[in-house]
Amino acid sequence: MKKMMLLLAVAGITTTTAMAQDKSQGKINYDVTLNVHASLKPDQLQYKDMMPETVVNKDVLYFNGKKTRLIHEENEATSDEGVKVKFDVGQGEKAFYTDGTTGQTWSLIEEDGKKTLILNGKEETGKTGERKPGTRTKEILGFTCREMTIENEEAGLITLWVTDLLPFSTGPMGFSAGKGAVLGLDNKRLNIIATAINYSPVNISEVSIPIDVPIKNEKE
């Protein structure tokens, strides 16, 4: 009897290890921190002391193979003076879909209660600019991430932290490194970090664009 119990215990450990090694499906939680003070325009600086310094949002990315769905959790911060600042990802975007097989991306927009899918350009970065590999690395959730930089006219230097050990090629706020999953971002206005990853089954329908929502081209 003791021998049988030992064999069952060993079998259980083997099964658990095999499941833990499956990184093809799951979800990633991100903290998205907007530096409100650094984002103010010159004519808004007079209100700097009335506003909270930062606002933190949450992004959640679901993935199944090369398909992903990113959702934004809206948040706002209130200063000591009672001024409220809401984190707005822009254009009423509620979700961002990618298909790494085709390179296609879509934004799910909701305005006045109506939903529309906007077909974006392939390998959408969320910010325009040429990607350049860097030399530094950064540890995020046990992954050694490589550096990728984007020089953007409006936002300045954007540093992405990318791992090639996950099956998809995108990240928070719709940023993409072209190849590899984005787990972090550093910028004078925006800082993003993956805080948790959970490898669990994700139905393919959860990361596929909804079939009952009309699609428009980004240029329309």
* Mean pLDDT calculated for residue range 11-22: 46
Asked if residues 97 and 64 have their Cβ atoms less than 8 Å apart, the reply is no
d(CA 11, CA 147): 40
Q: How many CB atoms lie within 10 A of CB 147?
A: 18
Beta strands at 54-64 and 114-119: parallel, antiparallel or unpaired: unpaired
Q: How many CB atoms lie within 10 A of CB 150?
A: 23
Residue 18 has pLDDT above 50, yes or no: no
d(CA 114, CA 105): 20
d(CA 88, CA 36): 12
Token representation of residue 104 = 């296609």
Token representation of residue 88 = 């707005």
Asked if residues 52 and 36 have their Cβ atoms less than 8 Å apart, the reply is yes
d(CA 200, CA 60): 14
Residue 124 has pLDDT above 50, yes or no: no
d(CA 174, CA 172): 5
Token representation of residue 108 = 């799910």
Domains within the chain, CATH numbers bracketed: 23-217 (2.50.20)
DSSP secondary structure string for all residues of 21-57: T--SEEEEEEEEEEEHHHH--GGGGGGGGGS-SEEEE
The tens digit of pLDDT for each residue in 52-67 reads 666 778 889 999 999 9
User: Maximum Cα–Cα distance for the chain, whole Å?
Assistant: 79
Token representation of residue 158 = 């954007």
Counts of helices then strands in the chain (DSSP H, E): 2, 14
pTM assigned to the model: 0.78
**Residue 142, SS3?**
coil
The tens digit of pLDDT for each residue in 148-157 reads 998 877 778 8
Give the pLDDT confidence score for residue 19 in this predicted structure: 44
